[in-house]
Structure 1
Amino acid sequence: MTEFGKITYYSEISQMMFGFGDSHSPNPDTVRLVESILLDQLRTLVQEALKYSDGKNLGGEELVFLMRHSKQKMRRFVIYLRNRHNKALLQQPAGATDKQLLDKPVGELMEFIERIDETGEFTDLEEIDEVKFERQLRADRISLALDEKRYLEFCKARCRSFTSNHTIQRSLEKLRVWVDPKKEINFRREALDVLAYYAYQTVAEIVDYALLVRMDTKTGANPFDHLPGMYYTATMFNGKHQFQEENPDYSKVHSSQPQITVNEVKEVMRRIHTPQAGKLNFGGPLPETHYYLLSNPKYFN
């Protein structure tokens, strides 16, 4: 097909799922299902974004524009851009100027966000991002249970993304060919950067919601078990919720964490497609799935 051969992100997605809270060795069938969902998601995003361009050329602004209805998603992306900018400052070669750095695509995207941010809420980062906080809480609980070797593996998985620090251009080209194998669309570099960010966040949400589904099956009708954040920790344990005891047994976080199953992911997609059949939020605010996790009926049949 291409210089990449048969393109797959199986390895990357498997490690990301572990980093987000799945088993150390995710279920292969589940990983392949997530990969299939992700590819459909990215291709849908591209087609939606092309409506705001000439239909053939795609820049990063069109993809960022799709996030405009969710201030939290936009804020996470702003933080992502700022972190990338700070990293570029640290890695700039001798003699590089701030003007040269600001001319990079990351600067153009920030300027675009500021232009469409009429109320300033997209760049207001003082409000706590509960989803991000609870993901960090879950990672902290897992890390407490790991020995040195597994902890290093977990850290590596947490750093995995759809771009490689050493071969960014090649990574983005692989993503472009995966999404558009017939080369019908002209992607600008920043468009591929945003697409890689979307892909990463989609995998994170699938894992989040799969753990929500698992927590729902464990807790039954107990309303107190659906408090915000509970599923990020309680789903890591078999049997009794260990945080009810004085000395939590963190060892079960890693050694006994069951793999996320195909049926759990299918249930996630079913609930997103037909939310009246079962809430994913369990009493909290509705989950923000628009343009991160689109649904296709074929995934829950």
Structure 2
Amino acid sequence: METDSDITYYNEISLMMFGFGDSHKPNPETVRLVESIVLKQLRTIVQEALKYSDGKNLKGEELIFLMRHNKQKMRRFVKYLINKHNKLKIQVDFTEINLDVKPKSDLLEFIERIDETEEFTDLTEFDEVKYERQLRADRISQALDEKKYLDFCKARCASFLSKDTTYRSLVKLRLWIDPKKEINFKDDALDVIAYYAYETVAEITDYALLVRMDSKSGTDPLKHLTGSYYTSTMFNGRHKFEEPNPDYSKVYMSQPPISVNEIKEVMRRVCTPQAGRIHFGGKLPETQYLFAL
């Protein structure tokens, strides 16, 4: 029987990193480091959210409330809730989805209540980060053979709730975060946590690829302008976007896995306040380095 200390998301995170742009076979040490970062950040998020609860019972609303300062990430979460609702509706009653009608759920209604300016539910604004991830995935898919393309599709579907039944996945996630079972998590809270974990892996991978791109730019401050900011790290020499017909077959497969040092550099940049950062002389908030928020 699996004990609390045996719980790991190594396989899921390895797949997710591949799906977000890492090598087909991510570095095992890098995956373990990312897993430890994700776990630490989730536990910090939970402790922050408990400040808005009674200290022991945690609901999804308290976790969502932490995201209120980032309208773009809140919008991305709203899209996630809508897509999840529509997927379940299709699976249950096979009816067509009316995209003009927003579904109702407790979490969506809570977001609407705290959305005084209607910024959180305005989904018309362009999401640059989401677009760059999709563009990167498209470029990768064109560089893969049939077998690796199928593996890539599988990796793109990986999440912290993708194995076994949803109930078993939630139990595993709860024990991973709270092995001593000191907190009473509502199901919607664990669903939000799973989403935060997924976004944390995505952002770490995004930033690691940016670190790699910066290291390739050398002393030329304008070199990184060729191609998309997230995507150009995967294109070397004449295989960048200025070519009318870049040879994608030579792009992705030659990229080494994201290294431990690249992840450490990401954390150094995120956790160390930059010179001149405006914080009005006050202490930086505890959540300023949390990727999901």
TM-score normalised by L of structure 2: 0.88
AA in 2 matched with 1:81: L
Measured after TM superposition, the shift of residue 5 of structure 1 is 6.7
1:175–1:291 CA distance, 2 compared to 1 (3 A): farther
Question: Corresponding residue for 2:25?
Answer: 25
Distance 1:230 1:264 in 2: 20
The alignment covers a number of residue pairs equal to 277
The structure-2 alpha-carbon separation of the partners of 1:184 and 1:275, relative to structure 1 and needing over 3 Å to count, comes to same
User: Which residue number corresponds to residue 284 of structure 1?
Assistant: none
Counterpart in the other structure of 1:47: 47
Q: Which residue of 2 aligns with 1:203?
A: 201
One-letter code aligned to 2:52: Y
Partner of 2:149: 151
Q: Which residue of 1 is the match for residue 218 of structure 2?
A: 220
CA RMSD of aligned residues (A): 2.5
User: What does 1:28-107 correspond to in 2, within 5 Å?
Assistant: 28-92=28-92, 107=105
Q: Quick one: distance in 2 between partners of 1:112 and 1:259?
A: 41
> How far apart, CA to CA, are the structure 2 residues paired with 1:228 and 1:60?
41
Q: Superposed, which structure 2 residues align to 1:1-301 within 5 Å?
A: 2=2, 6-92=6-92, 107-164=105-162, 167-227=165-225, 230-276=228-274, 290=288, 292-293=290-291
Question: CA 1:48/1:5 → structure 2, altered by over 3 Å: closer, same or farther?
Answer: closer
2:87 partner amino acid: K
How far does residue 197 in structure 1 lie from its aligned partner after superposition?
0.1
Deviations 1:237-291 (A, max 9, x none): 3444532323201012331011100000000000011242799xxxxxxxxx846
Q: Distance in 2 between matches of 1:179 and 1:272?
A: 23
Residues in 2 aligned to 1:206 and 1:229: alpha-carbon distance in whole angstroms = 20
C-alpha deviation, 1:234, in angstroms: 2.0
**Per-residue deviation at 1:229?**
6.1
Distance 1:141 1:208 in 2: 15
Residue type of the alignment partner of 1:85:
H
Q: Residue 214 and residue 275 in structure 1: after superposition, are their counterparts in 2 closer, same or farther (change >3 A)?
A: farther
Segment of structure 1 superposing worse, 237-246 or 181-190: 237-246
Contact map agreement 2:227 2:241 (CA 8 A) in 1: no
Do the aligned partners of residues 111 and 229 (structure 1) sit closer, same or farther apart at CA in structure 2, a change above 3 Å counting? farther
Equivalent position amino acid for 2:202 in 1? A
Q: Once structures 1 and 2 are overlaid, which stretch shifts more, 252-261 or 21-30?
A: 252-261
- The residue type equivalent to 1:52 in the other structure is Y
The secondary structure found in structure 2 opposite 1:276 is: coil
Distance of 1:20 and 1:35 partners within structure 2? 15
Structure 2 CA distance, aligned partners of 1:81 and 1:174?
Answer: 22
Give 1:188 deviation, angstroms: 0.2
Q: Distance in 1 between matches of 2:4 and 2:44?
A: 23
Q: Offset at 1:3? A: 5.7
Q: Do the aligned partners of residues 175 and 182 (structure 1) sit closer, same or farther apart at CA in structure 2, a change above 3 Å counting?
A: same
User: Which amino acid in 2 is paired with 1:180?
Assistant: D
Is the partner of 1:124 in helix, strand or coil? coil
Q: What is the CA-CA distance between 1:62 and the residue it aligns to? A: 0.3
Shift of 1:228: 9.0
Unaligned runs of 5+ in 1: 95-101, 280-288, 295-301
Deviation at 1:146, TM superposition (A): 1.2
Instruction: Call closer, same or farther: CA 1:113–1:177 in 2, change over 3 Å.
Output: same
Kept after mapping to 1: 8 A contact 2:45/2:63: yes
Percent of aligned positions that are identical: 72
- What secondary structure is seen at the aligned counterpart in 2 of 1:230? coil
- Given that residues 161 and 200 in structure 1 are in contact (C-alpha distance below 8 angstroms), is that contact kept between their aligned partners in structure 2? yes
Residue identity in the other structure for 2:221: P
